[in-house]
Amino acid sequence: MNVHNLINEYLKKVYYLIVLFRKNSNFLTNEIVIGTSGIIWNKIIIWFANLLNKKIYVFDHGVGNGFAKHIMNQPLEFDQNINFVCLNKLQKNNIKKYILTKDSGVNLILSKEQKKSFINKNKKPIKKILFIQTNYKNYQYAFDKNNEFYQVYFQKKLFSFLESCGYEVILKPHPVCNSQINSIFFGKRIESKVFEKIYLNYDLLIFDYCRSTTFASALSSNIPIICVDHKTIDIHKNIKRILSKRVSFLQFKFDVFNLPIINLKEVKNCINQSQKKTDLIIKENIF
């Protein structure tokens, strides 16, 4: 497809969206909440909603749980006079400090806080492990210096070791992961159900990144947690200090091909440490 045809296709989709909004404008409520749908699409939605004098609330799940110092996936979604719904105080402070300009005109508001209950699961020896995967080629997260080959290599190596130790390892893919890659290399060892509905069925949770809202859910339990650190996670120092009380961070060296060297002794030690940290409930209001 050449550039001319590509532009035509794009304009057709933009026109379709505008017509769709105009046709259904009578059904729109006075308050509209929109999530991440891409910069252009959000611009169109916001522009049309403003024409109709609607109050707009925007949220971006890409900010995750607000633990890390990273730039928003779509900073241009912050328009003048927009009410941006923040997941928590930490997220609000990070956006205000690292993203918005002083004259942005964006109103940051906190979502209604819900009292979180701590789930105390009966302790038992670790048998089933859930590995929560980041997105393939998700450069802004854990693998900015690598690609699918690195991820598959790392996961296969780690899974093989864990299984040799008698553990059952199940993969929980990122919602937008390439399912074909996962099915080829990991077969039927894939958990397809929503994380919040199944994580209590496992004895250990290994996160390939800690910026997901699922990570906050895991912290509300006493299940052992390991977070893989590929030396690309940029977490606020005070946050990492707090998380280290509850979470074990798995680190490793790299070979000449920039592939991870997994030290079996360190993995075992990390698992043991994660079990010792399960009784701590994080009370410092970071999630």
> How confident is the model over 154-206, as pLDDT tens digits?
888 999 999 999 999 998 987 767 667 777 777 768 888 889 899 999 999 99
- Kindly report the backbone phi and psi dihedral angles of residue 186, in degrees, each rounded to the nearest multiple of 5, phi listed first: -120, 0
Of 74-78, 132-136, 210-214, the one with minimum mean pLDDT is 74-78
pLDDT of residue 229: 86
**Region 68-87 average pLDDT:** 62
CA 271 – CA 250 distance, rounded (Å): 9
Q: How far apart are CA 148 and CA 160, in angstroms?
A: 18
107 or 168, which is more confident: 168
State residue 143's pLDDT score.
44
Residue 169 has φ and ψ, to the nearest 5°, of -110, 125
* CATH of 128-276 given 3.40.50.970, 3.30.565.10, 3.20.20.120, 3.40.50.2000: 3.40.50.2000
Q: What is the DSSP letter of 30?
A: S
Residue 145 contacts residue 231 (beta carbons within 8 Å): no
Q: How confident is the model at residue 282 (pLDDT cuts 50, 70, 90)?
A: low
Mean pLDDT, rounded, for 80-104: 75
Mean pLDDT to the nearest integer, 246-254:
90
The stretch 71-88 carries a mean pLDDT of: 63
Tokens 């809202």, residue located: 213
| Ramachandran assignment for 104, one of left (phi > 0), alpha (psi -120 to 50 degrees), beta (any other) | alpha
pLDDT at site 247:
92
What b/e readout covers 46-55, taking b as 16+ CB neighbours within 10 angstroms? bebbeeeebe
Is the pLDDT at 70 greater than 80, yes or no?
Answer: no
For position 62, what pLDDT does the model report?
Answer: 54
Q: Do the beta carbons of residue 224 and residue 278 sit within 8 Å?
A: yes
- Residue 137: count of CB within 10 angstroms of its CB: 14
Looking at residue 95, what is its pLDDT? 75
Residue with tokens 């109050």: 55
Q: Compute the half-sphere exposure of residue 241: CA atoms within 13 Å on the CB side of its CA.
A: 4
pLDDT: which is higher, 114 or 160:
160
Beta-strand ranges (E) seen in the chain are 31-34, 55-58, 83-86, 107-110, 128-132, 168-172, 204-207, 225-228, 248-250, 253-254, 260-261
Give residue 73's pLDDT band: very low, low, confident or very high (50, 70, 90): very low
Query: How do residues 140-154 score in pLDDT, each as one tens digit?
Result: 344 444 567 788 888
| Confidence class for position 74, pLDDT limits 50, 70, 90 | very low
The owner of tokens 């980041």 is: 134
Which residues belong to CATH 3.40.50.2000 in the chain?
128-276
**Which ranges of 33-142 does DSSP label H, i.e. alpha helix?**
39-51, 89-98
| Percentage with pLDDT > 70 across the chain | 77
How far is the CA of 118 from the CAs of 188, 218, 278, in angstroms?
31, 10, 12
Mean pLDDT of all residues belonging to the chain: 77
Closest CA to 209 of 187, 231, 183: 231
User: pTM for this one?
Assistant: 0.73
Long-range contacts of 149-155 (CB under 8 A, 24+ apart): 150/258, 150/259, 150/260, 152/181, 152/185, 153/259, 153/260, 154/259, 154/260, 154/262, 155/131, 155/185, 155/186
Helix axes 264-276, 148-164, angle to 10 degrees: 70
Question: What would the mean pLDDT of 18-47 be, rounded to a whole number?
Answer: 75
Q: Which of 153, 226, 165, 175 is nearest to 62 (CA)?
A: 175
Predicted local confidence at residue 144, as pLDDT = 46
